Amino acid sequence: MSDVMKKVLKIVGIIAAVAAAAAAVYFLVKKLKEKKALKEGDEDLESFVSCSCLDDEPIVVEDKPAEDAPAEEAAAE
């Protein structure tokens, strides 16, 4: 191999090593944050706001006659 090719491969190797180290640090920090969030999970529940704007209003259900009801009455006669 030529000297230029060796230098290019060496630089690519260094870049790959730095990228791998950065990815390892990123995933380590992410994992530690998830563990910390699980321990402090109660704080997330305190800030949770549910939409209960319709809870106080009664739900009105109207009884609609069945579509088959007139056919049943005619069959009974």
Higher-pLDDT residue of 40 and 10 is: 10
pTM over 0.85: no
User: What is the number of structural domains in the chain?
Assistant: 1
List alpha helices for the chain, DSSP H: 3-39, 41-46, 69-76
State yes or no: pLDDT of 76 exceeds 60.
no
**Distance between CA atoms of residues 24 and 18, nearest Å:** 10
- Full domain range(s) for residue 9: 3-58
For residue 64, tell me if it sits in a domain.
no
pLDDT digits (tens, 9 = 90+) for 3-23: 999 999 999 999 999 999 999
